[in-house]
Amino acid sequence: MQSFIHGFAIGMSLIVAIGAQNAFVLKQGLKRQYVFWVCLLCATSDAILIALGVTGFAQVIQSYPQILSITKYFGAAFLFIYGAQHFYAAVTQNQSLSASDTQAENVWKILAICAALTWLNPHVYLDTVILLGSISTQYAATKMYFAFGAMTASFIFFFVLGFGARFLQPIFQRPQAWKILDMMIALMMWAMAFNLLFN
């Protein structure tokens, strides 16, 4: 139980940081579009990466750092383009938007964007595979409980974020709020792309 609690606490502390993935889940939650599937994809992806870290895949990444280099450049390019789309929406979108009348996009397109934001982000590998994988070695006999705790934190966080976003819907019935959100997401994506390339 102690290993589970430690895994849960460390997992939650890593995942609550505002990032591209969390911003995407928040926006889908506000739109009420495919929230369950987006949250499930994010949490399941985290669970897979955590399992890889705990079972020793962290050593593979440390032995072959070019894996992170490849994801760094692809991830930075994707974040720049995704940020540009939100910047364009912030500048050109003037109509009143509410979560109930936004046009639903194709579910596969949404899940593809979500998967790219998750798997093309090198920080995800550093946090889940390498960091959690390294910490799990302190729990040699109970590391699977540690991993399960971290996975549980991921599932709880994403589903609370996705389905809890609807409580912010009254704020986003004003078009200005959506413009501000889009601009914030655009700047966040560009900052993360710059950080990946130059930090």
Model confidence pLDDT, tens digit, residues 122-164: 778 877 887 887 778 778 788 889 999 999 999 999 999 999 9
> Which range is least confidently modeled, 1-15, 20-34, 92-106?
92-106
**CA angle, 53 then 55 then 59, to 5°:** 60
DSSP 104: P
Q: Domain ranges in the chain?
A: 1-94+103-198
Q: Are 11 and 154 in contact (CB under 8 A)?
A: yes
Q: Is the pLDDT of residue 96 over 70?
A: no
The pLDDT score that the predictor gives to residue 12 is: 86
pLDDT of residue 36: 96
15-19, 99-103, 109-113, 141-145: range with lowest mean pLDDT = 99-103
Share of the chain above pLDDT 70, in %: 91
Higher pLDDT, 85 or 38: 38
The residue with tokens 């750092």 is: 65
CA distances from 154 to 84, 92, 127 (A): 28, 35, 12
pLDDT of 65 reads 74
The overall average pLDDT reported for the chain is 83
Contact 172, 181 (CB under 8 A): yes
Q: What pLDDT is recorded for position 25?
A: 93
Inter-residue contact 54 to 151 (CB < 8 Å): no
pLDDT for 103: 61
The pLDDT of residue 154 is 93
Predicted confidence at residue 102, as pLDDT, reads 56
